[in-house]
Structure 1
Amino acid sequence: MSVIQKLKKSSLPKRIFRIAFRLIGLLPRKKRTVFFESFHARQYSDSPRAIYEYMLEHHPEYELVWSIDKRAEQLFKTHGVPYVKRFTPRWFIEFPRAKYWVNNVRLPGWMPKPPGTIYVQTWHGTPLKKLGLDIEMVHMPGTDTDRYRKNFLSESSKWDFLVSPNPYSTKIFKRAFGYKGNVIESGYPRNDLLTNFTESEVRTVRETLGIPEGKKVMLYAPTWRDHEFYEKGKYKFEFQFDLEQWREQFSEEWVLLTRMHYLIAENFDFSGYDGAVIDVSGYPDIRDLYIVSDMLITDYSSVFFDFSVLNRPIVFYMYDLDQYRDQLRGFYFPIENEAPGPIVRTEEELFDVIRNAGQLQPENSEVYRKFRQTFTSLEDGHATERVVGTFLGK
């Protein structure tokens, strides 16, 4: 093992970082500086992006900067977004002094919150599967149940505001995160686009992705499995339906967009499917994919809560439902009874539903209507305005 590898495995760098971070954090706050991160500083997406874009338009008096992983630099250059690479000397000078932090996942555990900093945690989804302190047994690599819970409590103690999309989530978040601070029950900023988009925006996304004129779009967006992994932060995933069979049966009418969870390590090659299957895992923001999709196929991912804002068909491909529900995570409500769409467990059942997609009519479904009433009643296109107004105190 090289000296560099030994140093990476050592706790010494984290100790040095923590000391430097704490000392610089004692300097005066830069009261009009806001730092943003999304999904461990790897994406320009989600509610932090919605808040950034809103503030850029409505609060030009603030300095808005993104904290990014160095591997995401080209993405932020492409979007012309101001950024500072994580853990560089400039980052250590600027990030701890910012008055506001906006993030949608947990920060590194060694990172203390400086006095006077306001940390806005948007989180990244309405929960179906149990999370945080509600998980009875943690199966993730690199941790155990006790350590996982302690780390969650340590993180949530730093939050000054937690964004919640609905009353259901507020109740769960407070308990699952052990959170006693301010909750902004507003709807999700990232979902404002779903009620405000234009046909021009839809055309632009379709052209960017190369979706042929006249083809309908099916979005496949599954989540990760806690127990299927290569190492900490890198999870396995295998398709549970035959893509060649899908292409033969449905590609005349449909294009399939495949969106893997950001923690899934596989790089899939769909070049042999003649454009019938398009990998959109690296596409910056899933909200654009929602507005071009005529139907969503998912499993236990929170994407179906957001997609339901559009009142479009959702199919749940839950091939491992019993194991996921009873052994891995557990659910907060009986999805078998309350899912706003059919649940299928085999490729045959999935393909049969797709063949009869015309029968999926959310506008005529009482279950879908009740689902939207419970989970999307606040999604009116003004969530970002409510969130920003609250944490800025305006």
Structure 2
Amino acid sequence: MKSKTIRKMYRKIFGLVGKLPKKENIIVFESFLGKQYSCNPRAIYEELKKQDRNFTYYWSIDHRFKKHFEEHGVRTIHRFTFKWFIVMMRAKYWVFNSRLPKWIPKPAETVYLQTWHGTPLKKLALDMDEVYMPGTTTEMYKKNFITEAKRWSFLVAPNEYSAEIFQKAFDFEQTMLKTGYPRNDYLFHYTREDVNDIKQRLNIPEGKKVILYAPTWRDNEYHFIGKYKFTVQMDMEAMKEQLGGDYFMIFRLHYLVSDHLDLNGYEDFAVDASRYEDIRDLYIASDMLITDYSSVMFDYGVLKRPMIFYVYDIESYRDMLRGFYFDFENEAPGPLVTTTNSLLEEIKSADTIRERYASHVEWFEDSFHSLEDGYASQRVTEAVFPEQ
């Protein structure tokens, strides 16, 4: 974003600004690099608003996505502008779900609540054997991650499993909040009217079963730093031919993927919702999930709906790119498939998946959902933001 010289200058200037007294009532929120009004920061923000607390709230945003925030009437500041730096340095609290650039200083008195953005299946940070991301090396990546994690005052864990991994993979030494995920509270409190509104917004035909396809990104497939590629590895003609009469597909690419899907000719069968602001709406609007190694499986599982795992590259992903924290191939709460034909078969028999994989589903829910009850946001706010 900036040259090394400019970054160095910024760091010095704002390091000085950061020594000014904190504005005790200012909180800055950011979700997925300022691209979305979503995830755990959104849930925490909305809980604080509901409590009518005496805070001044700012959302740190990427200016290209401003319209998503304007729709909700939130106060915004554009990332990396002069005003952004001043507000960041004076704010008492930061609530972010992804890392900040290492050259941005954190004032000593700032409380940094890192919510992160998923229960991990694939290995993270210090647990990764090799890093294939552009613009870094394995050693540099791990060093930067440790440096960032040392700035966090609190880290939210959705379950005990994640807490153990986060502590080790991030070398985290501060306060772990084992609360469940604030972003999943919504999955306990939505209404049928909410579902209908979402389907209308996406132009989903009435009466059709809805399939959400939400794959993750691949570390070694990229255009350049921070811009990852993704190609849909399924026969769309066959999918439409066999499913078009009864089903409709929602495609949701990972926020790091810069590609736009070309769904020309499939408008009556599929929609690209990759730029839709919050995936939680897509969860409740769908009848089943197709994913791969994405952490969406852990959130979607709260809804107790069928999940299919389309893992056409599982050998390379497991053995070369990341590796898994548990025996995904033998313990996944649904079928693993590698071809369009097998995917089609499982979609057509999706109603039986939870029964066919009953023991896996029970283990999955016991392991990852024991803290999920719709009130995680309350627990986080009570722990981090004292009553004034």
**TM-score interval w.r.t. the shorter chain?**
over 0.9
Report the Cα offset of residue 363 of structure 1.
9.3
State how 1:271-350 maps to structure 2 within 5 Å: 271-350=264-343
Partner of 1:3: none
Pick closer, same or farther for the CA change 1:9–1:104 going to 2, 3 Å.
closer
Partner of 1:81: 74
Partner of 2:243: 250
What SS does the corresponding residue of 2:187 show, helix, strand or coil? helix
Q: Does 1:54 align with 2:47?
A: yes
In structure 1, how many angstroms separate the alpha carbons of the residues matched to 2:2 and 2:99?
Answer: 21
What SS does the corresponding residue of 2:24 show, helix, strand or coil? strand
* Greater shift in the superposed pair: 191-200 or 269-278: 269-278
TM-score (norm 1): 0.96
- Kindly indicate whether the alpha-carbon contact (under 8 Å) linking 1:311 and 1:363 is maintained by their aligned counterparts in 2: no
Q: Does 1:102 align with 2:95?
A: yes
1:82-118 Cα distance to aligned partner (Å, 9 max, x none) = 1111122221221111000000000011011102100
Partner of 1:17: 10
In structure 1, how many angstroms separate the alpha carbons of the residues matched to 2:368 and 2:71?
Answer: 34
Partner of 2:368: 375
What SS does the corresponding residue of 1:126 show, helix, strand or coil? coil
In structure 2, how many angstroms separate the alpha carbons of the residues matched to 1:126 and 1:352?
Answer: 28
In structure 2, how many angstroms separate the alpha carbons of the residues matched to 1:327 and 1:194?
Answer: 35
* Greater shift in the superposed pair: 158-167 or 8-17: 8-17
Report the Cα offset of residue 364 of structure 1.
7.4
Which consecutive unaligned segments of at least 5 residues does structure 1 have?
A: 1-7
Which consecutive unaligned segments of at least 5 residues does structure 2 have?
A: none
In structure 1, how many angstroms separate the alpha carbons of the residues matched to 2:385 and 2:52?
Answer: 10
- Kindly indicate whether the alpha-carbon contact (under 8 Å) linking 1:37 and 1:104 is maintained by their aligned counterparts in 2: yes
1:196-228 Cα distance to aligned partner (Å, 9 max, x none) = 111111111111111111111000000111111
State how 1:357-376 maps to structure 2 within 5 Å: 357-361=350-354, 365-376=358-369
Q: Does 1:264 align with 2:257?
A: yes
Question: Aligned AA for 1:292?
Answer: A
1:359-389 Cα distance to aligned partner (Å, 9 max, x none) = 2235971210121011011110000000111
Identity %: 50
In structure 1, how many angstroms separate the alpha carbons of the residues matched to 2:242 and 2:18?
Answer: 59
Partner of 1:163: 156
Pick closer, same or farther for the CA change 1:20–1:127 going to 2, 3 Å.
same
What SS does the corresponding residue of 1:361 show, helix, strand or coil? helix
Partner of 2:195: 202
1:117-141 Cα distance to aligned partner (Å, 9 max, x none) = 0000000000000011000110110
Q: Does 1:226 align with 2:211?
A: no
What SS does the corresponding residue of 1:225 show, helix, strand or coil? coil
- Kindly indicate whether the alpha-carbon contact (under 8 Å) linking 2:28 and 2:94 is maintained by their aligned counterparts in 1: yes
Given the alignment, which residue of 182, 186, 190 partners 2:183?
A: 190
In structure 2, how many angstroms separate the alpha carbons of the residues matched to 1:162 and 1:180?
Answer: 10
Report the Cα offset of residue 354 of structure 1.
1.3
Partner of 1:138: 131
1:284-326 Cα distance to aligned partner (Å, 9 max, x none) = 0001110111000000000001000000000000111111111
**How many residues were matched structurally?**
387
- Kindly indicate whether the alpha-carbon contact (under 8 Å) linking 1:84 and 1:91 is maintained by their aligned counterparts in 2: yes
TM-score (norm 2): 0.97
- Kindly indicate whether the alpha-carbon contact (under 8 Å) linking 1:313 and 1:362 is maintained by their aligned counterparts in 2: no
Partner of 1:174: 167
In structure 2, how many angstroms separate the alpha carbons of the residues matched to 1:201 and 1:74?
Answer: 21
* RMSD of aligned residue pairs (Cα, Å): 1.3
Q: Does 1:66 align with 2:59?
A: yes
Report the Cα offset of residue 78 of structure 1.
2.0
Partner of 1:5: none
* Greater shift in the superposed pair: 125-134 or 226-235: 226-235
Partner of 1:239: 232
* Greater shift in the superposed pair: 88-97 or 232-241: 88-97
- Kindly indicate whether the alpha-carbon contact (under 8 Å) linking 2:334 and 2:354 is maintained by their aligned counterparts in 1: no
Report the Cα offset of residue 358 of structure 1.
2.8
1:214-264 Cα distance to aligned partner (Å, 9 max, x none) = 111000000111111111111111111111221111011111000000111
Question: Aligned AA for 2:22?
Answer: R
Q: Does 1:36 align with 2:34?
A: no
- Kindly indicate whether the alpha-carbon contact (under 8 Å) linking 1:363 and 1:369 is maintained by their aligned counterparts in 2: no
- Kindly indicate whether the alpha-carbon contact (under 8 Å) linking 1:42 and 1:72 is maintained by their aligned counterparts in 2: yes
* Greater shift in the superposed pair: 353-362 or 317-326: 353-362
Q: Does 1:388 align with 2:374?
A: no
Question: Aligned AA for 2:147?
Answer: S
What SS does the corresponding residue of 2:11 show, helix, strand or coil? helix
- Kindly indicate whether the alpha-carbon contact (under 8 Å) linking 1:336 and 1:343 is maintained by their aligned counterparts in 2: yes
In structure 2, how many angstroms separate the alpha carbons of the residues matched to 1:358 and 1:152?
Answer: 42
Question: Aligned AA for 1:354?
Answer: I
